């Protein structure tokens, strides 16, 4: 019978041993229980006994060599027995492999979690105050804490909430100033505190412009059919469930993104990250700044559902009652300045999205039809796209398709 | 409802349980001839005989080991170790054996032994006779650690401890023996592993046990006069620890203070505070304060000893600190 | 300490079946231990492994005197006691391999063999820690009128521990039916008796507690049996505790991790000449009680039992992870 002699584990924490001396030679008879070798481990020498009798046919590890516990060091068999695989390298036993496995694994890199809060200056607020602020949609930057060290406490939040309806509308934010040369010292000025939302916007928009190579594609869309359909639908659904133009744009964008998944994506660590959900953010202008609540899974929702949800979420945004769910990450954004008579404009992409659609006003404009000038309700949209993700042709085709959906609006309700 | 002392309540518990179950017996140092170092066992030998109420040599290791063996052999021993300071000698049998027999031997038998002892200081007995070492034992899985604050709890908990099939450390307080309280008549049990709200309030949660529960209640009374209503939660059992009433309270009051006679570092307050921040983080309006024994060996001199043990003043101070607002 | 000690001659009055059973048991123990050594060296058994080779006569002789309802508490070199007390060999091997089918469900390991159904109440790893437990068990027997005798086995090293003294004192005070059996194998781990004990004759250590004591040649299974019987009878009569010093020798190290630097090879060889299994076998052969075929049968059976135990253990599953939380409390 062929028996492998392994480097024995002579101690609960022994991982390897060194052959000090072979007491028997190859070809010697060995009895069960007889000492065949001396092994050194952590400065102590122990004897290795044979657990079966026979002939020491092969010594696989010479004196002076160190091997892990469990590795085969010799073979005992009958004198003329065939020993398979003897010419191969000493086979490490499962124990040896397990010893290797016990080596500590490299630590996994901690996930970097960046939230707007972490990067902005630290505001001290007690956990319950933070939770209440979150639930009420209050920007902690607006509150001065009266707790120790200026900490915002529950009482501060309660005081703020009690006072809020009585407050007049906040002063309108200063218009975005064109870049100027540094002002001379003697121009009088006042510094106004930026709201938390604005601080975040400032950082994100600057970063977006800096990091993503923006390019722009514009399309002029005939809105006649869409407006007709909208009118008809609204007669059907009634006052409470009115569908807006923006709602139909959202649906149109969702359908287009379904066909252009590469636009429903991000540039992530050198790869194109294509999202499996279509979550569209609708920009809402508030006194404190721009918020973009997201409607999730627009491709799976009907026009009515989108209209309903949009209405609710915009209402929540305006009254400062946004919920955490409203800030589900988005994959595409629509920004509509049409209500301000803006004909067309160019928007900054909301990172890490790949594109944003800037929508101008719907107005009667002259168009050329079969060589003749006619008047039609037109709307211009401009797609800003991240050139790392989307190229010109794709953006153009995207808009082309979008235009088809809007000009043949029955697509929006199929 | 009758008003009886903590001592009398314990005595009644022992008497009732020994009458109910023949297997219950008491042994320890000076429990018979001396009448018990704190008088709890006084008179029992007359009714139950020397077979069931026994004096032992001064041999805590042996007493604890014999209690474990007797419990394994089918009895329900109530071993008295006199004080928790001496229980250090017994801790090998308690921690290495009593706590582990059930699990280590594959669930074959449990150790239904009760180890009674006195903990805490304040009687000027100096450092080696005044310690509150319950955190050491509360740390060990397999043990149950109980510290009653009132006579009613003392009786109900001791009865439950004797009927429990697991090893229970039942830690009394020397300065509570003479305290009187209402104790229900007739048969009743107080469950192990259940904390209790001893006083309701909405402004701050004070968590305490043993003598410190009374200190907390005194502090709560005085705070009430200043318009702060404190809710006092008495833990009663340290292991297994029932955090439900504590968490419900903190969710209501948003503030917590723990009070213990044991030393602060690695103490009971550390565990309670940890669990509060784990499970009620979003309800905290201030950091959790811990009031505990000053971290020194307890001295003999009265003024020094008093300064080292938490009292109502220190609890009030801690509460006020977490209410503090920044200067306008 | 010399190999030749005071030996008691025995005229056993035992029948051949019983005598062969003793031989079988000792040989089974020896093979079980050798197999355990091999499995440890292969990494299949972990932790501490304390083997009983050389001391078999003590376990077999002493435990053969116990009645079915008697109790046994021992130190951590406990495989021999478990076998002598009739614990399931397969499940003992499974326990060594840490399997769910082990006698302690894999939670105790080598040092914590325990089977309440046969009165083997451990296997304890704290030196002398089980001695007061034995006193408590004996106390309970008296209290409940169970008529049990508790055999408490410990080593020479335990006799210098506080527990030893407290237990013996209480045992005599309370007149508990405990037989304190000290297996003096001349070394407490790596410390020779004369370097650890002010009194090297263990038998004298019972005197301060007024406990009757005897010293026995631990390599003679019948001598051990005879002395233990006296002790057990004494305890069962209600005369209180008894103390036995069984002089024996362990052929292997203290545990598998022991490089055995503290004793002479020559001393070991000398004691091996008095191998209790060899001596007993020779005596049986000389008196015509053991034929070559019977010996062969015993060899074969013990080999098979050990092989089967290994197979059972290796094929058994690991304990489920949920077991981690089981049996922390009897009343959760």
Whether residues B172 and B210 fall in one domain: no
Residues of chain C found within 8 Å of residue B50, distances taken between Cβ atoms? none
From B158, B182, B206, give the residue that closes a domain. Answer: B182
> For residue A127, what is the nearest residue in chain B, using CA coordinates?
B282
Q: Rg for chain B (alpha carbons), in Å?
A: 20
A92 touches chain C (CB under 8 A): no
Query: HSE of A111 in the Cβ direction (CA atoms, 13 Å)?
Result: 3
Q: Can you give the CATH number for the domain in which B258 is found?
A: 3.40.50.920
Per the annotation, the verdict on B60 as an active-site residue is yes
> Between chains, do B108 and C108 touch, taking CB under 8 Å as contact?
no
Which ranges in chain C belong to alpha helices (H)? 16-41, 56-63, 79-84, 89-96, 131-144, 162-174, 193-196, 221-236, 265-272, 276-286, 292-315
CA distances from B84 to A107, B46, B310 (A): 44, 27, 19
Mean pLDDT of C292-302: 97
pLDDT digits (tens, 9 = 90+) for C42-54: 999 999 999 999 9
From B159, B182, B205, give the residue that closes a domain. Answer: B182
Per the annotation, the verdict on B129 as an active-site residue is yes
Residues of chain C found within 8 Å of residue A6, distances taken between Cβ atoms? 41-42
Whether residues B18 and B135 fall in one domain: yes
pLDDT computed for residue B326 by the predictor = 54
> Between chains, do A146 and B284 touch, taking CB under 8 Å as contact?
no
Selecting from C132, C143, C330 the residue whose C-beta is nearest the C-beta of B75 gives C143
CA distances from A382 to A14, A249, A343, B325 (A): 71, 13, 11, 53
DSSP string, B257-281: EEEEEEESTTSHHHHHHHHHHHHSG
Selecting from C41, C48, C259 the residue whose C-beta is nearest the C-beta of A45 gives C259
ipTM of the complex: 0.90
pLDDT digits (tens, 9 = 90+) for B302-327: 999 999 999 999 999 999 999 876 54
Cα(B153)–Cα(B195) distance, rounded to whole angstroms?
11
pLDDT computed for residue A118 by the predictor = 46
> Between chains, do B325 and A147 touch, taking CB under 8 Å as contact?
yes
Residue B187 lies in a domain: no
Output phi, psi for A364, to 5 deg.
Answer: -70, 125
Whether residues B219 and B315 fall in one domain: yes
Whether residues B73 and B176 fall in one domain: yes
Among A183-187, A300-304, C174-178, C311-315, the range scoring the smallest mean pLDDT is A183-187
Cα(A254)–Cα(A268) distance, rounded to whole angstroms?
22
Whether residues B155 and B16 fall in one domain: yes
Whether residues B158 and B278 fall in one domain: no
> What's the domain range around B154?
3-182
Whether residues B257 and B134 fall in one domain: no
Q: Can you give the CATH number for the domain in which B53 is found?
A: 3.40.50.970
pLDDT computed for residue A179 by the predictor = 42
Whether residues B248 and B283 fall in one domain: yes
C76 touches chain A (CB under 8 A): no
> Between chains, do B285 and A145 touch, taking CB under 8 Å as contact?
no
Is a pLDDT exceeding 50 seen at residue A95? Answer: no
Cα(C1)–Cα(C186) distance, rounded to whole angstroms?
7
Residue B81 lies in a domain: yes
Residue B188 lies in a domain: no
Active site residues of A: 387
Domains of chain C (ranges plus CATH)? 16-314 (3.40.50.970)
pLDDT digits (tens, 9 = 90+) for C72-122: 999 999 999 999 999 999 999 999 999 999 999 999 999 999 999 999 998
Pairing status of strand C242-247 against strand C178-184: parallel
Tokens of C193: 């008796």
Whether residues B27 and B69 fall in one domain: yes
pTM: 0.71
Whether residues B42 and B141 fall in one domain: yes
Number of domains in chain B: 2
Residues of chain B found within 8 Å of residue A154, distances taken between Cβ atoms? 254, 285
Cα(A74)–Cα(A356) distance, rounded to whole angstroms?
72
Whether residues B172 and B201 fall in one domain: no
> Between chains, do C173 and B107 touch, taking CB under 8 Å as contact?
no
Asked, as a colleague might, if the bond just before B65 is cis with ω within 30 of 0, I would say: no
Residue B191 lies in a domain: no
CA distance C281 to chain A (A): 20
Average pLDDT taken over every residue of chain A: 83
> Between chains, do C140 and B70 touch, taking CB under 8 Å as contact?
yes
From B156, B182, B208, give the residue that closes a domain. Answer: B182
Residues of chain C found within 8 Å of residue B72, distances taken between Cβ atoms? 121, 133, 136-137, 140
Residues of chain B found within 8 Å of residue A126, distances taken between Cβ atoms? 254, 284-286
pLDDT computed for residue B276 by the predictor = 97
The CA-CA-CA angle for residues A331, A333, A338, to 5°, reads 170
Whether residues B26 and B130 fall in one domain: yes
> Between chains, do B326 and A131 touch, taking CB under 8 Å as contact?
no
From the list B8, B17, B60, B172, the catalytic residue is B60
CA distance A79 to chain C (A): 23
**Counting runs of H as helices and runs of E as strands, what totals does chain C give?**
11, 8
Domains of chain A (ranges plus CATH)? 3-101 (2.40.50.100), 117-162 (4.10.320.10), 196-413 (3.30.559.10)
> Between chains, do B282 and A131 touch, taking CB under 8 Å as contact?
yes
Nearest to B115 by CA among B48, B66, B74, B151: B66
Selecting from C106, C141, C170 the residue whose C-beta is nearest the C-beta of B66 gives C170
Residues of chain A found within 8 Å of residue C41, distances taken between Cβ atoms? 6, 8-10, 48, 51
> For residue C38, what is the nearest residue in chain A, using CA coordinates?
A51
Local confidence band at A239 (pLDDT 50, 70, 90 cut-offs): confident
Among A178-192, A232-246, A260-274, B239-253, the range scoring the smallest mean pLDDT is A178-192
Is a pLDDT exceeding 70 seen at residue A343? Answer: yes
pLDDT digits (tens, 9 = 90+) for C140-165: 999 999 999 999 999 999 999 999 99
A216 touches chain C (CB under 8 A): no
Residue B189 lies in a domain: no
Output phi, psi for A385, to 5 deg.
Answer: -130, 150
> Between chains, do B282 and A148 touch, taking CB under 8 Å as contact?
no
């Amino acid at each position: 019978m062929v028996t492998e002699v392994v480097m024995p584990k002579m101690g609960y924490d022994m991982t390897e041993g060194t052959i000090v001396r072979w007491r028997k030679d190859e070809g010697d008879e060995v009895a069960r229980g007889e000492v065949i070798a001396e092994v050194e481990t952590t400065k102590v020498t122990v004897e290795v006994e044979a657990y079966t009798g026979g002939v020491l046919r092969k010594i696989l590890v010479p004196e002076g060599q160190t091997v892990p516990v469990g590795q085969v060091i010799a073979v005992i068999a009958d004198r003329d027995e065939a020993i398979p695989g003897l010419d191969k390298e000493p086979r490490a036993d499962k124990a040896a492999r397990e010893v290797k496995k016990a080596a500590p694994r490299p630590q996994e890199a901690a996930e970097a979690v960046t939230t707007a809060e972490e990067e902005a200056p630290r505001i001290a607020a007690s956990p319950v105050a933070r939770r209440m602020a979150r639930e009420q949609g209050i920007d902690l930057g607006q509150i001065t804490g009266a707790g120790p060290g200026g900490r915002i406490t529950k009482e501060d939040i309660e005081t703020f909430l009690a006072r809020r309806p009585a407050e007049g509308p906040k002063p309108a934010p200063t218009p975005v100033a064109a870049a100027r040369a540094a002002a001379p010292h003697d121009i009088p000025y006042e510094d106004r505190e930026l709201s938390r939302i604005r601080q975040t916007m400032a950082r994100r928009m600057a970063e977006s412009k800096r990091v993503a190579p923006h390019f722009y594609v514009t399309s002029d869309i005939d809105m006649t059919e869409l407006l007709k359909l909208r009118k008809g639908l609204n007669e059907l659904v009634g006052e409470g469930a009115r569908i807006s133009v923006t709602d139909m744009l959202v649906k149109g964008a969702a359908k287009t993104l379904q066909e252009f998944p590469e636009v429903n994506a991000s540039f992530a660590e050198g790869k194109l990250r294509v999202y499996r959900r279509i979550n569209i953010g609708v920009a809402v202008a508030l006194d404190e700044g721009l918020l973009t609540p997201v409607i999730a899974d627009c491709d799976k929702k009907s026009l009515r559902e989108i209209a309903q949800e949009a209405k609710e979420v915009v209402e929540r945004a305006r009254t400062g009652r946004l919920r955490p769910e409203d800030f589900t990450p988005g994959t595409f954004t629509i920004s509509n300045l049409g209500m301000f008579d803006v004909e067309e404009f160019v928007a900054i992409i909301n990172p890490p999205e790949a594109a944003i659609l800037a929508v101008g006003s719907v107005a009667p404009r002259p168009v050329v039809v079969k060589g003749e000038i006619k008047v039609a309700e037109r709307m211009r949209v401009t797609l800003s796209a991240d050139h790392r993700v989307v190229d010109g042709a794709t953006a153009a085709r995207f808009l082309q398709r979008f235009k088809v959906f809007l000009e043949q609006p029955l697509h929006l309700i199929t | 409802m009758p008003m009886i002392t903590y001592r009398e309540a314990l005595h009644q518990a022992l008497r009732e349980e020994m009458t109910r179950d023949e297997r219950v017996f008491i042994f320890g140092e000076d429990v018979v001839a001396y009448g018990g170092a704190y008088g709890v066992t006084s008179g029992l030998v007359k009714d139950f005989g020397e077979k069931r109420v026994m004096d032992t040599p001064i041999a805590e290791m042996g007493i604890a080991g014999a209690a474990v063996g007797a419990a394994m052999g089918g009895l329900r021993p109530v071993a008295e170790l006199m004080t928790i300071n001496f229980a250090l000698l017994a801790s090998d049998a308690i921690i290495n054996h009593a706590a582990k027999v059930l699990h280590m031997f594959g669930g074959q038998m449990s150790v239904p032994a009760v180890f009674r002892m006195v903990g805490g200081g304040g009687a000027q007995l100096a450092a080696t006779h005044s310690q509150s070492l319950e955190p050491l034992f509360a740390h060990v899985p397999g043990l149950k650690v109980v510290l009653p604050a009132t006579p009613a709890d003392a009786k109900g908990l001791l009865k439950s401890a004797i009927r429990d099939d697991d090893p229970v450390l039942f830690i009394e307080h020397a300065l509570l023996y003479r305290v009187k309280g209402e104790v229900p008549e007739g048969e009743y049990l107080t469950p192990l592993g259940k904390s209790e709200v001893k006083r309701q309030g909405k402004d701050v949660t004070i968590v305490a046990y043993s003598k410190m529960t009374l200190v907390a209640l005194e502090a709560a009374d005085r705070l009430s006069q200043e318009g702060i209503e404190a809710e006092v939660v008495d833990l009663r059992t340290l292991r297994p620890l029932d955090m439900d009433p504590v968490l419900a309270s903190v969710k209501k009051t948003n503030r917590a203070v723990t009070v213990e006679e044991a030393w602060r570092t690695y103490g009971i307050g550390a565990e309670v505070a940890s669990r509060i921040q784990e499970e009620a983080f979003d309800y905290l309006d201030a950091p959790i304060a811990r009031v505990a024994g000053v971290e020194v060996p307890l001295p003999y001199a009265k003024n020094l000893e008093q300064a080292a043990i938490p009292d109502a003043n220190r609890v009030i101070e801690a509460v006020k600190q977490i209410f503090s607002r920044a200067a306008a | 300490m010399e190999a030749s000690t005071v030996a008691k001659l025995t005229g056993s009055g035992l029948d051949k079946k019983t005598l062969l059973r003793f031989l079988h048991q000792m040989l089974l123990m020896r093979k079980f231990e050798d197999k355990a050594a091999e499995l440890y060296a292969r990494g299949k058994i972990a932790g501490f492994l304390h083997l009983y080779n050389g001391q078999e006569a003590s376990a077999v002789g002493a435990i053969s005197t116990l009645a079915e309802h008697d109790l046994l508490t021992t130190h951590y070199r406990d495989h021999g006691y478990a076998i002598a007390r009739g614990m399931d060999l397969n499940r003992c091997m499974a326990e060594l391999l840490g399997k769910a089918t082990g006698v302690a469900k894999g939670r105790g390991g080598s040092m914590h063999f325990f089977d309440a159904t046969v009165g083997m109440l451990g296997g304890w790893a704290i030196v002398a820690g089980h001695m007061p437990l034995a006193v408590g068990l004996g106390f309970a027997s008296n209290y409940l009128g169970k008529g049990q005798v508790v055999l408490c086995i410990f080593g020479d090293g335990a006799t210098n521990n506080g527990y030893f003294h407290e237990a013996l004192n209480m045992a005599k005070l309370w007149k508990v039916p405990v037989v304190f059996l000290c297996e003096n194998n001349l070394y407490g781990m790596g410390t020779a008796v004369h370097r650890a004990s002010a009194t090297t004759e263990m038998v004298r250590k019972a005197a301060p507690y007024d406990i009757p004591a005897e010293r026995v040649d631990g390599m003679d299974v019948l001598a051990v049996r005879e002395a233990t019987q006296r002790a057990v009878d004494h305890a069962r009569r209600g005369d209180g505790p008894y103390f036995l010093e069984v002089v024996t020798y362990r052929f292997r190290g203290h545990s598998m991790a022991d490089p055995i630097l503290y004793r002479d090879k020559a001393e070991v060889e000398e004691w091996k000449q008095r191998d209790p299994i060899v001596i007993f076998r020779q005596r049986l052969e000389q008196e015509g009680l053991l034929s070559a075929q019977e010996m062969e049968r015993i060899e074969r059976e013990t080999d098979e039992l050990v092989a089967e135990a290994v197979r059972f253990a290796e094929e058994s599953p690991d304990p489920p992870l949920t077991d981690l939380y089981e049996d922390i409390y009897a009343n959760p």
